[in-house]
Structure 1
Amino acid sequence: MSSLDLKGKRLSLFLAFIMLPFVVFFLILFSPIILTLFPMFANVAGGFIFWGILYIAVMVGFFGFLYRVVDKRVAMAPDWMILTSREYWLLEYRREMDKDGDYSHRRIALVLYSGDCPVCNGSVQIARGGFHFPGRLVGRCAESPVEHVFSFDHISKVGRPLR
């Protein structure tokens, strides 16, 4: 398992990386007001809006998983992170404790979960919920991925049949 501690400078860089597309979005959103207050920027506004929209699209396309990790505390790792693997890897936003048992910081960990199907003893892998379970990660049996579907809780490591 691989992980990245988010504390100190790394936390600051991570938060800046997460927040920068929001800043660009709000600058684009308020560009009419900004141009009214500062008309000297009118000649560069079109280029800024074009490149800003392109920047946001690229950031969401390639790094949108970071928003899901922070929001839901678990997300599927993007394909470009795990090019050599056939398994479905996850990114978890874990809480770390210090030696006294108090909250210390958060860590992004690359993890792989698998299990045995209680119905047919096939292999169960974590996958996106798709159309039937939108916004969820579910366990799907390799032998019957449509019928043998299980809930997934990355905290308790326990799933229940969804069908």
Structure 2
Amino acid sequence: MAKSIEELAAAIRVADEFWNHYTNGDKTTARFHLFRAIIELVNGSAAFEAQQLDECYVTSSELADKVAFLANAKPATYNSGRLNQEYKLLLERLDALQPSLEQAAKKLGLDVIPVIHKEANAGGQGKQSIYRLLATKVNTSELNIKSSAEEQSASSDPNKISYYIESLPKLPVWTRWLQNINMTKHRWKMVLFTMSPIVLIIICAIIFQLSSFKLIEPQILTYLTVFTMWYVGLFLLCFRYLIDALNNNITTLPEMMLPLNLRSAVLQYELNEPGSDNGRIKQLTIKVFAAKCPICGYRVDIKSVGLPFRTRLIGVCNNNPIEHRYTFDFTTQQGTKLS
């Protein structure tokens, strides 16, 4: 929680910086109307101006009116139940967007990020809940953020682009198994599963040789061949991205695996330092990389567009996806325009 009005003011500055640079498609959803409503109501409140930290909160009725105004909706649209639902969605989204909030804080030279907290009011306001904007400390010393001068220099060159990690999203329930894999315990299980089509083909080849020497019934070979063809086809259809990630350490995830508010995300194997005793693979992460197109200023997403780039990932501008394309180096988070 903010210990002073200065920390709360810093959290508001970080929220504004984050908001000004956030370009994902869910920016116009109700959960972010809720976010902006709390920021604006707290920032414009008499309690904030009078530096009365304990009184810097928003009631549910005030919040409902403000959210409805921002959403151009009827005031009755956002009752307490709807606000509570959007509040839970906002908390989950802000948790995923912590890298973006930390980058905004680092860029401003601050060490706090905004957090929204809901609590029941024990008196005075009936059954209304109250919402507070809090400031929580973060360590931004290890973030690699360009200075304003470097950023301005890079943005002035239309042939160079800088990427950043926008969020570490949670996958939908039906694909969350991939996100919860402990690579320390299940590294070899994951590698074996990824390589299972090749292993099965090798086994099938061995069975074929044994069958040619009449050591195994031909019927067994027929069953195994049919199963292998079925399994390999299904694996390539559903889990091809695991092979690409193992080969290249990074790949895009299919859209069917992503939440509805995301257009692209990558699956990345983060590696240990060379010579580490803990093996090659450190962890498996889901990340959303984004950038601002240096030519037109629109959002750039990471995509795998197939030929002529094969498994190569590139940055594609949402405004001009044909002409505004950039290389993507996930280690340096830099790129150049593709000709």
Scaled to the shorter chain, the TM-score interval is: 0.7 to 0.9
2:226 paired residue number: 50
Letter in 2 for 1:7: T
Letter in 2 for 1:93: Y
2:255 paired residue number: 79
Matches within 5 A, 1:5-154: 5-8=182-185, 10-96=186-272, 104=278, 105-154=281-330
The Cα of 1:7 is off from its aligned counterpart by 1.6
Q: Provide the secondary structure at the position in 2 that maps to 1:75.
A: strand
List alignment gaps of at least 5 residues for structure 1.
Answer: none
Q: Name the CA shift for 1:131/1:21 in 2 (closer, same or farther; >3 Å).
A: closer
Q: Name the CA shift for 1:40/1:159 in 2 (closer, same or farther; >3 Å).
A: closer
Q: Write the distance in 1 (CA, Å) between the matches of 2:200 and 2:304.
A: 30
Q: Provide the secondary structure at the position in 2 that maps to 1:112.
A: strand
Deviates more, 1:15-24 or 1:140-149: 15-24
Letter in 2 for 1:135: T
Deviation string 1:17-36 (CA, Å, 9 cap, x unpaired) is: 12322121112233331113
Deviates more, 1:49-58 or 1:122-131: 122-131
Deviation string 1:66-94 (CA, Å, 9 cap, x unpaired) is: 11001011101122321523421110111
Q: Provide the secondary structure at the position in 2 that maps to 1:135.
A: coil
Which one has the bigger helix percentage? 2
Q: Write the distance in 2 (CA, Å) between the matches of 1:161 and 1:107.
A: 31
Letter in 2 for 1:95: L
Q: Write the distance in 2 (CA, Å) between the matches of 1:131 and 1:19.
A: 24
Q: Write the distance in 2 (CA, Å) between the matches of 1:71 and 1:23.
A: 16
Percent identity over the alignment? 18
Q: Provide the secondary structure at the position in 1 that maps to 2:335.
A: coil
Q: Name the CA shift for 1:79/1:129 in 2 (closer, same or farther; >3 Å).
A: closer
TM, length-normalised to structure 2: 0.43
- Conserved 8 A contact 1:93-1:109: yes
The Cα of 1:40 is off from its aligned counterpart by 4.0
Deviates more, 1:55-64 or 1:124-133: 124-133
The Cα of 1:95 is off from its aligned counterpart by 1.5
Which one has the bigger strand percentage? 1
Q: Write the distance in 2 (CA, Å) between the matches of 1:20 and 1:133.
A: 26
Coordinate RMSD, CA, aligned: 2.2
Q: Provide the secondary structure at the position in 2 that maps to 1:113.
A: strand
Letter in 2 for 1:60: L
Q: Provide the secondary structure at the position in 2 that maps to 1:49.
A: helix
Q: Write the distance in 2 (CA, Å) between the matches of 1:131 and 1:43.
A: 41
Runs of 4+ in 1 over 6 A off after TM superposition: none
Q: Name the CA shift for 1:76/1:43 in 2 (closer, same or farther; >3 Å).
A: same
Deviates more, 1:37-46 or 1:146-155: 37-46
TM, length-normalised to structure 1: 0.85
Letter in 1 for 2:200: V
Q: Write the distance in 2 (CA, Å) between the matches of 1:34 and 1:60.
A: 27
Whether 2:335 is the aligned partner of 1:159: answer: yes
